[in-house]
Structure 1
Amino acid sequence: MSVEFGGRLGHSGAVSTTDNTETTARRRGRRPAGQDTRTALIEAARSVFAETGYDGATVRVIATRAGVDAAMVNHWFGSKEGLFAQAVLELPFDPADVQKALRTGPDDELGERIVRTFITLWDGVGGGVFVALIRSITGHEQAGHVLRDFFQRFFSALITSIGSDRVTLRMNLCATQMVGLGMVRYVAKFEPLATEDVEVLVRAIAPNLQRYLTGEIG
């Protein structure tokens, strides 16, 4: 019985170096079908979904960006839908942990802590998931649900914990401020806000957010 090691056996039983070179050339640039492939696909998917939204992204483009065969998407995630769920619909941080951290400090400085934390968190992950969610809302209903659920749960709990009235209205007003900030900084990338220092934005935006949280809203 003959055994192959990276090349086909010739008539004499020796390994064909020509065939081995050709095989290596064909495989160059492809990743092995392991955990690193899954990670590469998630990273590539976040990038592509952020650029084109859900509708504009294709499995082939994502796989090419990741340097793997398109069949790996089905292997690891079942479909583009499954990949989107893993890459975009799962936030890159735990909202409960963030909420707990924000409650450490005076209530009248909560707006500052929210703006600082929001920008720091999304800057730290490149803003990609936020951009992908925004650009996918029209083509993927669940993207809108995730974004809405995050802000509703996040701000409702904070506003309730500090004893403010009209929780639902305040929550919506806070969401307009933070979604708008995310749109301008990460999606539209208006300058200088897109690259402005975090503390400059905290000083500029936090007073208005604080009014939505604890002030008179009419």
Structure 2
Amino acid sequence: MSKATPHRSTQRYARRQHKCQLKGATLIEALVSLLVMSFGLLGLAGLQASGLTFQKAAWSMHRVTDITSDIGERIRANPKAMDADYQYTSSYATGKAATLTKLNCRTTGACTAAQTAADDLADLLLKAQTLLPQGSMQITGTVAGGFVVTSMYMDKDFLTTAGTLDQTATCTATTTGIDVRNCCPAAAAAPAGVRCRNFTIVP
């Protein structure tokens, strides 16, 4: 009966060790693949969250544009109105809860220019309250210099790095550039979390 030589035993041991190494390597590769895939899924989740934020911001801007265009057309259709007829400067909190009285005199054709402007302002405020989250608005200016329409709304995603609601900058005489479009009028007394969008209408 032949006995296994030391050389053959060494070969068998080497083959077993090689097989164990292959199994171990396969397990490590699988774990690394799972780790890489997990990072990829986390990245996709972050992109989806950012995409939803941008989508909400775009939706709000679309509504702001709609409101501004509406009042612009109404002002141009009422050229006899005085500058004071198209003024609404209440604070954000007041405008958010206010209900302006409509005369509805257009149906009889007996509206004066001032009454038409009053109805236009009532419609504008109602539209801001309806279309924007906790919406409000202001309108100031003159026919000669242009009317500034400020749409205001609450944005729960408008946060600081600490995770608290951020405060929009207040418009001042020195505010310039893109900041003019995004600052809040001092009279609005806008609380933290409120965004303001300013657009100028020149009749």
Normalising by structure 1, we get a TM-score of 0.29
The structure whose residues are more often strand, as a share, is: 2
Greater C-alpha radius of gyration:
2
Normalising by structure 2, we get a TM-score of 0.30
The structure whose residues are more often helix, as a share, is: 1
